[in-house]
Amino acid sequence: MLVRSCVVATAAALLASPCAAIQAASGAAISADFPFESHYVEVLGSRMHYVDEGAGEPILFIHGNPTSSYLWRNIIPYVSDDHRAIAVDLIGMGKSDKPDIAYTFQDHSRYVNAFIEALGLRDVTLVLHDWGSVLGFHYALEHEENVVGIAFMEAIIPPAFPREAPMGGTLGRFRSQEGEELVLQQNQFVEGVLPGGVARGLTEAEMEQYRAPYPTPESRLPTLQWPRELPAGGEPARNVAVVERVGEWMRRTEVPMLFLWARPGALNNEAFADAMIERVANVQTSFVGEGRHYIQEDQPEMIGRTLADWRRRLERD
């Protein structure tokens, strides 16, 4: 099933239209289809699901909450012609197994690191979103010799996090006892936060893909734990330390980076892009059009083309 496409002619239209810069150049449609073969690998005693398209140096896509490899479906084709595009489902999410673990950041980090080792990935380019950003950056600071470049968007890194004040609003409610009703019983991260984070909205076909991994309250535990892992108000201290360490590493590393941002954004915005230029020596920034938090659902072509061009230029430098 294909969702509407938008063709816009001027810069003003890119900012004014709800479908904004989506497919701005070609008018290609956003597809709800997920036409990729499923692959599985055993990691730490559980199966992790991933898609694996193309050949060449690997580009590893890491999603966040409450998404999966499905988030990258309309971006993968832009890089799989000349690279090996791999999109993983984090443990407990997507089509990956749901072992009996706490689903802390540290749990996910162990599984991501072991996944990379299980596939024998070398000279990796990381493409990161949401909690996938912290997972990917944490991997990179510990395995810098194995990382060619990092592209990231809507990231949980300085200066957006750690936050000095406790979390408020919806995420603050998820961190409280009320979160168990909202997330485990009502599935609010999928039913509310996700569609609210997409400027164009999501079709029923797309929503069904995102609902599929979480049919029961028990299956939704990873989506509840992730907001409780956010470093805010000094808690959890273990993740405050992780994100601060990531920020320090970004200041000194020579790994090339690409920051993709949308307007108005959610975690990151234009001011965040300016902060990246000031804080990170080897970063480029790129505005991709209108979008909220899940900008891959609003701007897949702009993200895909920008990512592909940046990655090819890395090979020439």
Residue 190 has pLDDT above 70, yes or no: yes
pLDDT by residue (tens digit) across 8-64?
222 333 333 344 443 443 345 799 999 999 999 999 999 999 999 999 999 999 999
The active-site residue, picked from 107, 154, 229, 297, is: 154
The stretch 150-156 carries a mean pLDDT of 98
Which tens digit of pLDDT belongs to each residue from 79-110? 999 999 999 999 999 999 999 999 999 999 99
Q: Is residue 298 flagged as an active site residue? A: no
Helix extents (H) in the chain:
11-16, 76-79, 105-119, 131-142, 169-175, 178-179, 188, 194-196, 204-211, 221-229, 237-252, 270-279, 295-298, 300-316
> Helix or strand or coil: residue 115?
helix
Taking only the tens place, the pLDDT of each residue in 271-297 is 999 999 999 989 999 999 999 999 999
Read off the pLDDT of residues 244-277 as tens digits, 9 standing for 90 and up.
Answer: 999 999 999 999 999 999 999 999 999 999 999 9
pLDDT digits (tens, 9 = 90+) for 134-147: 999 999 999 999 99
Catalytic residue among 49, 83, 108, 293: 293
How high does pLDDT run on average in the chain?
92
pLDDT over threshold 60, residue 208: yes
Give pLDDT, residue 13: 34
293 part of the active site: yes
Annotation marks residue 154 as catalytic:
yes
HEC states along 280-316? Answer: CCCEEEEEEEEECCCHHHHCHHHHHHHHHHHHHHHHH
Q: Rounded to 5 degrees, what angle do the CA atoms 234, 237, 243 make?
A: 90
Domains in the chain and their CATH numbers? 38-316 (3.40.50.1820)
In this prediction, residue 4 has a pLDDT band, given cuts at 50, 70 and 90, of very low
Which entry of 52, 53, 89, 130 is annotated as an active-site residue?
A: 130
What pLDDT does 28 receive?
Answer: 58
User: For 162-178, what is each residue's pLDDT tens digit?
Assistant: 999 999 999 999 999 99
The answer to whether 249 touches 142, Cβ cutoff 8 Å, is no
The reported pLDDT for the residue numbered 281 is 85
